[in-house]
Amino acid sequence: MRPYHKIPIFECGEPLMAIPLELFAVESPHPYEKLGATYGDRSPYYLRQSVIENLIQAQNYLQLLHPNWRIQIFDAYRPVAVQQFMVDYSFAQAVRDRGLTDVELSPNQRQEIWEAVYAIWAVPSLDEKTPPPHSTGAAVDVTLVDDAGEIVNMGSPIDEMSERSHPDYYANSDRPEAQKYHAHRQLLQDVMLKVGFQRNPREWWHFSIGDQMWAWLNNQSNPANPVTARYGRLV
Ligand SMILES: C[C@@H](N)C(=O)N[C@H](C)C(=O)O
Ligand SMILES: [Zn+2]
């Protein structure tokens, strides 16, 4: 259970729709499809209708500040089965990265790796009260592309299981490179928050609007006007 799972969900029934990809930059091939994740008759490039509208507004605002820059979509809608696939994949990859195999893991090593996995991945819960954020169609993982079509350097890749994923990891560094990464992360946050998204406090790339995490973050900064979630898990 994460603290945001206490937020009640009142599903509004808004449809899940295809993102107009021609407006954005897109990570292609899709990073999880490339690994074998399957989506049936849906696509990872789907979001709730008004989430798409907000994403378009965020890009419009970005282009006022930086003409011809674009938001790059890494991932959006994610069924719980894909959440499970990615959690299992990330665990297996972390075992390989440590030069180990599953059978030789000690209980402590196993626990340490699961903690690292769940530091960045939501639990693939099928409980309607605790949906993984992307299974609601309200969460999106994004970065920026500049006017030359180059991916803007944020100082760490999306989905890295390390401290570098924390949005403020580079905030207090004296190194000019690090200050640039922090400024890029701040720019991404500024354009997304300007139109109402909230950012996951643990990941510089994850934003949502209308889900439990979004409501919880809103309520942290504005407890006098608490909100609830309007998007639950899609079936
Ligand atoms: C790991 C990253 N792609 C992500 O989406 N993390 C959040 C917390 C999630 O799994 O919903
Ligand atoms: Zn995400």
Ligand 2 centroid to residue 208 C-alpha, Å = 8
Question: Ligand 1 centre and the CA of 37: distance in Å?
Answer: 15
Q: Is the pLDDT confidence value at 163 over 90?
A: yes
As separate numbers, helices (DSSP H) first and strands (DSSP E) second, the chain gives 5, 7
> Probe ligand 1: pick from 206, 214, 217, max atoms within 8 Å of CB?
206
CA of 141 to the centre of ligand 2 (A): 5
* Ligand 1 binding site (Cβ under 6 Å of any ligand atom): 120-122, 132-134, 141, 159, 200, 203, 206
Averaged pLDDT of the chain = 97
- 141 has binding-site annotation: yes
Nearest ligand atom owner, CA of 125 = 1
Is position 166 annotated in a ligand binding site? no
Mean pLDDT of 182-202: 98
- Is 235 a residue whose pLDDT tops 90? no
CB within 8 Å of 44: residues ≥ 6 apart: 30, 32, 33, 37, 75, 76, 77, 78, 82
Indicate left, alpha or beta for 70 from its phi (over 0: left) and psi (-120 to 50: alpha). beta
Average pLDDT over residues 191-220: 98
Measured at the CA of 172, the angle between CA 63 and CA 152, to 5 degrees, comes to: 30
The stretch 135-140 carries a mean pLDDT of 98
Nearest ligand atom owner, CA of 4: 1
- Sequence-ordered list of residues with C-beta below 8 angstroms from that of 144, at least 6 positions apart, any chain: 62, 69, 70, 71, 72, 151, 152, 154, 184, 187, 188
Average pLDDT over residues 83-90: 98
pLDDT of 211 > 90? The answer is yes
Tell me, what's the pLDDT at 191? Answer: 98
Choose the residue to mutate in 141, 211, 216 for probing ligand 1, maximizing ligand atoms within 8 Å of C-beta.
141
The answer on whether 147 is annotated among ligand-binding residues is no
pLDDT in tens, 32-79: 999 999 999 999 999 999 999 999 999 999 999 999 999 999 999 999
- The pTM of the full predicted model, rounded to 2 decimals, is 0.97
More confident residue, 235 or 193: 193
